[in-house]
Amino acid sequence: MKILAIETSCDETAISIIEADGSFNDAKFKILSNVVHSQVAEHAPYGGVFPALAKREHSKNLTQVLFKALGLDLVSKSQVILANPISNDKLKEIEKILDREPELLEQFLELIPTLEIPDIDAIAVTHGPGLEPALWVGINFAKALSIVWNKPVIATNHMLGHVFSAFMDEQEFSISDIQFPMLTLLVSGGHTELILMKDFGTYEKIGQTRDDAVGEAFDKVARLLELPYPGGPEISRLAEKFDSSESQQAPKLEFPRPMLHSKDFDFSFSGLKTSVLYTVKKIGKLTQADKEEIAHEFQQAAIDVLVKKTIQAAQKYGAKIVILGGGVAANNKLRKQLTEAVEKNLPNSIIQIPDIKFTGDNAAMIAIAAYFTYLKSGFTKEPLKIEADGNLSL
Ligand code: KG4
Ligand code: ZN
CATH class of 179-354: alpha beta
**CATH tag for 2-165+359-385 (out of 3.90.950.10, 3.40.50.300, 3.30.420.40, 3.40.190.10):** 3.30.420.40
Classified as helix, coil or strand, 223 is: helix
Alpha carbon 17 to chain centroid, angstroms: 17
How many other CB atoms are found less than 10 A from the CB of residue 93? 16
Note the pLDDT of residue 249. 63
C-alpha dist (Å) from residue 93 to 116, 145, 194 = 20, 11, 41
Q: How far does the centroid of ligand 1 lie from the alpha carbon of residue 192, in Å?
A: 11
Question: Which ligand 1 atom sits closest to the C-alpha of 222?
Answer: 14
Note the pLDDT of residue 248. 59
Q: Which one-letter DSSP state was computed for residue 177?
A: -
Pocket lined around ligand 1, Cβ cut-off 6 Å: 10, 188-190, 215-216, 218-219, 230-233, 236, 326-328, 330-331, 360-361
Note the pLDDT of residue 203. 85
Note the pLDDT of residue 236. 97
Q: Do domains 2-165+359-385 and 179-354 have the same CATH topology?
A: yes
Q: Which of 180, 178, 183, 138 is closest to 158 using CA atoms?
A: 138
What pLDDT tens digit does each residue of the chain (394 aa) get?
999 999 999 999 999 999 999 998 899 999 999 999 999 999 988 888 889 999 999 999 999 999 999 998 776 656 677 888 899 999 999 999 999 999 999 999 999 999 999 999 999 999 999 999 999 999 999 999 999 999 999 999 999 999 999 999 988 999 988 899 999 999 999 899 999 999 887 889 999 999 999 999 999 999 999 999 899 999 999 999 998 875 556 668 899 999 999 999 999 999 999 999 999 999 999 999 999 999 999 999 999 999 999 999 999 999 999 999 999 999 999 999 999 999 999 999 999 999 999 999 999 999 999 999 999 999 999 999 999 999 888 7
CA–CA gap between residue 12 and residue 16 (Å, rounded): 12
CA–CA gap between residue 334 and residue 389 (Å, rounded): 30
142 sits in the region (left: phi over 0; alpha: psi -120 to 50; else beta) called: alpha
Of all protein residues, the one whose alpha carbon is nearest to atom 22 of ligand 1 is 232
Q: Which one-letter DSSP state was computed for residue 277?
A: H
Of all protein residues, the one whose alpha carbon is nearest to atom 8 of ligand 1 is 327
pLDDT digits (tens, 9 = 90+) for 212-249: 999 999 999 999 999 998 999 999 999 999 988 755 56
Parse the chain into domains and list their residue ranges.
2-165+359-385, 179-354
CA–CA gap between residue 155 and residue 5 (Å, rounded): 10
Note the pLDDT of residue 78. 60
CA–CA gap between residue 170 and residue 147 (Å, rounded): 32
| Sign of the alpha-carbon dihedral angle for 116, 122, 126, 132 | positive
Is the link from the previous residue into 228 a cis peptide, with omega within 30 of 0?
Answer: no
Q: What angle do CA 271, 276, 281 make, to 5 degrees?
A: 125
Q: Are 206 and 194 in contact (CB under 8 A)?
A: yes
Q: How far does the centroid of ligand 1 lie from the alpha carbon of residue 327, in Å?
A: 4
